[in-house]
């Protein structure tokens, strides 16, 4: 132990932290909870090795996102898509009207009177530490929306502020493009939203070789359909009560809508799958309360050190993807996790 200090933890308790130094001759650590990061993140564009694009967002995001390629010869930049940080709608998709918001002024501070907090179980889902962090994964997070009285600085708008970490898209040998952060990302912090073109799932079923389809399966996850893991057993929560609206809905067994990031999307389209991911998917409702069209957010599942690849579990069931001729399609998984399932689908 070379140093120690006390910090106020995410739940309000005092947490003691220790900085450790390895002794000469100590055996290698076998736990995967400790990460050794070689090198350091670049401090400027001039320091980036293999730079092929200074900002793939072309100014769309507040923080530029460079792309690097040390794999291809000659090196190429990401192409074939248009960067857009917000959701787009196909012609046959329409978002529901905005719901009534809370009456808070400036910032939401009292969970016993804020209508949005009441929907979250009479508490705010976020703490304001580090710019806002989600306390725990939920069925769905109800955020303040366009008809709320609070402003953009409200903690209950945490996921609406866009990427705030310095992210980089980089080329890999086997997995195509990938994403890492130059900054430390604390557990529970929002990383990005999955954006693209919202389409009806039935319209994309025959789209060949489109690996950027994200099904909005909030409704199916809450019901535990198709092997999905339910997050809440609280039958009185506002989210569970919303299920009554879909009691006999045709979309109950399969998602009715999906996000197609094949030709239009943001940084999320480059984030790879892992069988042991460091991000998790969280459905968020802010402007409306239709579970079938919930916003899809990616949050840090653990503290993520700089330069570690960002990943989430794509959630494919094995043998669930079929080719146009009806045969089962198989794709090898190269995530490298200790308990890798060996196949993506």
Residues 258 and 255: their CA atoms lie apart, in Å, by: 7
Distance CA 114, CA 191 (A): 26
Return d(Cα 78, Cα 339) in angstroms, integer. Answer: 30
Domain residues for 298?
A: 50-96+139-312
Query: Mean pLDDT over all residues of the chain?
Result: 88
**CA-CA distance, 219 to 248, in Å (whole number)?**
12
β-strands 272-273, 311-312: how paired?
Answer: parallel
Residue pair 239/138 in contact (Cβ under 8 Å)? The answer is yes
Please state the domain count of the chain. Answer: 1
**What tokens does 207 get?**
């789209």
Asked whether residue 29 is assigned to any structural domain, the reply reads no
211-232 tens-digit pLDDT: 899 999 998 888 877 767 777 6
CB 110 within 8 A of CB 155: no
Assess if residue 326 is contained within a domain. Answer: no
Q: Please check whether residue 228 lies inside any domain of the structure.
A: yes
- Asked if the structure places residue 317 within a domain, the reply is no
pLDDT in tens, 240-293: 788 888 876 655 678 999 999 999 999 999 999 999 999 999 999 999 999 999
Q: Which residues contact 106 (CB under 8 A, 6 or more apart)?
A: 150, 151, 153, 154
Q: Is 261 within a domain?
A: yes
Q: pLDDT value at position 237?
A: 72
Query: Distance between alpha carbon 198 and the CA centroid of its chain, in Å?
Result: 17
Q: Which two tokens stand for residue 228?
A: 């999905």
C-alpha span between 46 and 43 (Å, rounded): 8
The answer to whether 218 and 295 have CB atoms below 8 angstroms apart is: no
Which tens digit of pLDDT belongs to each residue from 87-131? 999 999 999 999 999 999 999 999 999 999 999 999 999 999 889
Looking up residue 257, the CATH number of its domain turns out to be 2.170.270.10
C-alpha–C-alpha distance, residues 18 and 105, integer Å = 41
CB 297 within 8 A of CB 190: yes
Strand order in the sheet with 67-68: 51-53, 67-68, 167-171, 177-181
Give the HSE-up count for residue 339: Cα atoms under 13 Å, Cβ half-sphere.
5
Q: Which residues contact 161 (CB under 8 A, 6 or more apart)?
A: 131, 132, 152, 190
pLDDT digits (tens, 9 = 90+) for 190-216: 999 999 999 999 888 655 567 899 999
Cα 269 to Cα 67: distance, rounded to the nearest angstrom:
14
pLDDT digits (tens, 9 = 90+) for 41-82: 888 888 898 999 999 999 999 999 999 999 999 999 999 999
Q: Is residue 18 part of a domain?
A: no
Answering whether pTM is above 0.75, one says yes
Residue 116 forms part of a structural domain: no
Give the up-direction half-sphere exposure of residue 107: CA atoms within 13 A in the CB hemisphere. 7
Start-end of H helices in the chain: 115-119, 218-223, 238-242
- Is residue 120 assigned to a domain? no
Q: How far apart are CA 115 and CA 73, in angstroms?
A: 56
């Amino acid at each position: 132990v070379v140093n120690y200090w006390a910090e106020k933890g995410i739940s309000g308790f005092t947490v003691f932290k220790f900085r450790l130094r390895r002794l000469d001759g100590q055996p290698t650590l076998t736990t995967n909870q400790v990460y050794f990061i070689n090198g350091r993140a670049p401090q400027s564009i001039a320091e980036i090795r293999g730079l092929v694009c200074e900002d793939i967002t072309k100014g769309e995001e507040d923080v530029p996102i460079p792309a690097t390629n040390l794999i291809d010869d000659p090196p190429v930049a990401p192409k074939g898509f248009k960067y857009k940080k917000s959701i787009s709608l196909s012609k046959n998709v329409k978002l529901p009207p905005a719901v009534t918001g809370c009456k808070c002024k400036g910032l939401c501070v009292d969970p016993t009177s804020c209508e949005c907090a009441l929907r979250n179980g009479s508490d705010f889902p976020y703490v304001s530490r580090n710019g806002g962090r989600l306390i725990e994964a939920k069925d769905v997070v109800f955020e303040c929306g366009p008809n709320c009285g609070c402003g953009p600085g409200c903690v209950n708008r945490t996921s609406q502020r866009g990427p705030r970490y310095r992210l980089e898209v980089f080329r890999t040998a086997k997995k195509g493009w990938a994403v890492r952060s130059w900054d430390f990302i604390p557990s529970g912090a929002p990383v990005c939203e999955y954006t693209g073109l919202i389409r009806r799932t039935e319209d994309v079923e025959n789209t060949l070789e489109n690996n950027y389809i994200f099904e909005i399966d909030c409704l199916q996850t809450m019901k535990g359909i198709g092997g999905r893991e339910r997050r809440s057993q609280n039958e009185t929560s506002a989210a569970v009560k919303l299920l009554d609206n879909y009691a006999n809905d045709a979309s109950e067994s399969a998602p009715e809508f999906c996000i197609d990031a094949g030709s239009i999307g943001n940084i999320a389209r480059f984030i790879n799958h892992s069988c042991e991911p460091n991000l998790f998917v969280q459905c968020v409702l802010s402007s409306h309360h239709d579970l079938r069209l919930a916003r899809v957010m990616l949050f840090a599942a653990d503290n993520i050190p700089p330069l570690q690849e960002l990943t989430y579990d794509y959630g494919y069931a094995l043998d669930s993807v079929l080719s146009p001729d009806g045969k089962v399609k198989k794709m090898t998984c190269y995530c490298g996790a200790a308990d890798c399932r060996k196949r993506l689908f």
